[in-house]
A and B are shown apart, each in its own frame.
Chain A
Amino acid sequence: MKKDRGQFIILAAIALITAILVVAATATNSGFRIRQSQEFLVSIPLMNALDDGYRALIVALSRASWTYNTSSYDYVVANNTAYLYLLDWTKNFSEAHGGRGVNAYITSDVDFQWWSNGTMWWSNSSGLLIVNAPSLGIPQFRINLVAGLILSNLNIVDNVGFNITAFDAYRDIGVSVRLISLKINGSSISSWSYQYFGSGINGYYINFPITSNSELEAYFEYNGILVRVHKK
C-alpha cells in the first residue's frame, strides 16, 4: 500500500505541474495581451478628440477669418461662423462615438488684429476642448487649445520689397506663409517673387517703387487662416 501511495503522489504532482504549465503558458500568450488591448479600445474616442480637436479649431478659425474679411470685419459674424462650425464638429463626434457614451465639444473665441500700424498682426483662436466619457470612467476631460497665425517685424527695403516674420501660434514656430494679395500706396501688385529664409522670415520682392513710408496692405494665408497686414 505504501508503494501505491508513492505512485499516486508522483502522478498527482505531475498532473498538477502539467496543468499549471498549460494554464500559465496559455494565459501568458493571450490573457495579458487582452488586458492591454482593452485599454487601447476604450481610449480611441479620447485619442480622436485630442487628435482632431486641434484641427477643428484651425478650420473654425480659418472659416471665421475669411468671413471676417467678407463681412467688412464684423467680429460677431466671424465668431458665429466659428461657433457654427464647431457645433457641426460636435455633432459629427457624437455620431461617431456617442454609441460608446462619449461626447466632446469645443468652445472657442476668435480674435483678430488686422490694423496694427507696423508692429504685429494676427488671427487667433483660443478654445477649450471638453470630453465627457463617464462610461470610460472619465467624467470630464478638459484641454486648452490655441490656433492662429501671428505676423510681425515687417521690414520694408526701399525699392526692393519687404520681409515679414510669421509664427504658428499653436506650435510656436516660424512658418512659411502664402501672400494672397498686395497693395502698395493703393495700387494692386499682381506679381512678386518669394523667398523663405527660415525661422519664419518670409521675403517678397516686387518690381514697384516702395519705401519705408509707403502704405502697404497685404493678405497672408497659412493653413487656410487669413491675416490682413496694413501699414500706413
Chain B
Amino acid sequence: MSKGQIFLIGAIAAMGFMIVFTVVALEYIKVDVVSSRSQTLLRNGFSALKAAINSNAIDALITNNDASTLQFIFDNSLPSYVCYNFTVYNSTFTRSVCSVRGFEAEVTLFYVYTSVSLRNTYILVLKLAVKT
C-alpha cells in the first residue's frame, strides 16, 4: 500500500470520526436544550410567583376569591406561549387559577408563602407548560 493510499484512508477515517462526533454532540445538546426550556419555564414561574407575592394578589384570592389581579400578573409576567395552573392551599383550604384546563405540566414550582395580613402559611403550586 502506497503512502498516498494510507494518507487517503487516514483522512477518510478522520472525517468519519468528526461526523460521528458532531452527530453525537448535537444529540447530547438537543437533550439539554429540552432541559433548558424547562429551566426557562422555571425562571419565568419564579418571577411570576414573586410578583404575585409582592402585590398581595394571593391574599386577595384567599380572602375574596378575587383572582383578577393574580391573573393579570401571570398573564403579563409569563410569556404568551406559556399556560399555567396556580394553586394555593393549606390543611383546610384550596383555591386554583388556570389559563388552560387540563394541560400536562412541564415544570411544577412549589413555594411556601406566609401571609402577614392573614397570619397564616400556605403552599403555592405553579404548574407551567408550553402551549402546543
Query: What is the predominant secondary structure among interface residues of chain B facing chain A?
Result: helix
Known contacts: A31-B32, A34-B36, A59-B120. The answer to whether A92 contacts B7 by CB under 8 A is: no
Known contacts: A1-B2, A8-B8, A62-B119. The answer to whether A37 contacts B18 by CB under 8 A is: no
In the complex, chain B residues whose CB is within 8 Å of the CB of A63: 119
List B residues 6-23 near A (Cβ within 8 Å).
7-8, 11, 14-15, 18-19, 21-22
In the complex, chain A residues whose CB is within 8 Å of the CB of B112: 48, 52, 89, 92-93, 96-97
Query: What is the predominant secondary structure among interface residues of chain A facing chain B?
Result: helix
Of A18-26, A108-116, A119-127, A179-187, the one contacting chain B is A18-26
Tell yes or no: B72 within 8 A of A by CB: no
Tell yes or no: B68 within 8 A of A by CB: no
Tell yes or no: A172 within 8 A of B by CB: no
Q: What are 30 A-B contacts with C-beta separation under 8 Å?
A: A4-B4, A5-B7, A12-B14, A19-B18, A19-B21, A23-B22, A23-B26, A26-B26, A33-B39, A34-B35, A38-B39, A40-B39, A41-B42, A44-B42, A52-B112, A52-B114, A52-B121, A55-B115, A59-B114, A59-B121, A62-B116, A63-B119, A89-B112, A89-B121, A92-B121, A92-B122, A93-B112, A96-B123, A97-B112, A224-B117
